[in-house]
Amino acid sequence: MIVDSFFDSRDTTEFDLFSPSHDIALAVITLLALSLYLMRFTIRANPALRRAVRIGLALLLLLSEVGLNIWYVKQSLWDIHYTLPLELCSLTLLLSVVMLLTPARCCIPSCSSPGSLGRSRLC
């Protein structure tokens, strides 16, 4: 099945930068980010919508991390030395989830500095 080969870690298909599927994914992500930006005042003014957006973003982050670890297990790549959430990017992601789900903002410095390092490809 084509989906199985797409997720297979041993698949030798090369990634094509800026292929049509890559362009579509970039466009969808850009449109979602732009819509969040354009609706920021509406989201801030409506507490129920603000809560829904925060929970949605937290679930998206958490599900992506869980999905990655499920993929590691299914591909026999999971190793306690490399895939525990103790790396910079995983810790930052989990701190972001905590920040989105709690009113405490004490995690912001702990999240922004490692996040900047992660953007510079250190994780």
Q: Which of 119, 44, 58, 62 is nearest to 88 (CA)?
A: 119
Is it the case that residue 121 has pLDDT exceeding 80?
no
Is it the case that residue 111 has pLDDT exceeding 90?
no
pLDDT at 71 (0 to 100): 86
Find out whether 97 and 55 touch, Cβ atoms under 8 Å. no
Is it the case that residue 42 has pLDDT exceeding 50?
yes
pLDDT range class, residue 14, cuts 50, 70, 90:
confident
pLDDT tens digits for 60-80? 999 998 888 888 888 888 887
Q: Is residue 53 part of a domain?
A: yes
pLDDT at 114 (0 to 100): 58
Expressed as residue numbers, the domain containing 103 is 17-119
Q: What is the DSSP string of 32-86?
A: HHHHHHHTHHHHHH-HHHHHHHHHHHHHHHHHHHHHHHHHHHHTT---TTTSSTT
Name the least confident of 2-6, 45-49, 63-67.
Answer: 2-6
If one counts the domains in the chain, the total is: 1
Q: Is residue 1 part of a domain?
A: no
Q: Is residue 11 part of a domain?
A: no
The whole-number average pLDDT for the span 88-114 is 76
pLDDT at 29 (0 to 100): 94
pLDDT at 24 (0 to 100): 92
Q: Is residue 38 part of a domain?
A: yes
13 exposure class (CB count in 10 Å sphere: 0-12, 13-18, 19+): exposed
The residues, ordered by sequence, that sit 6+ positions from 100 with a Cβ below 8 Å of its Cβ are: 54, 55, 57, 58, 61
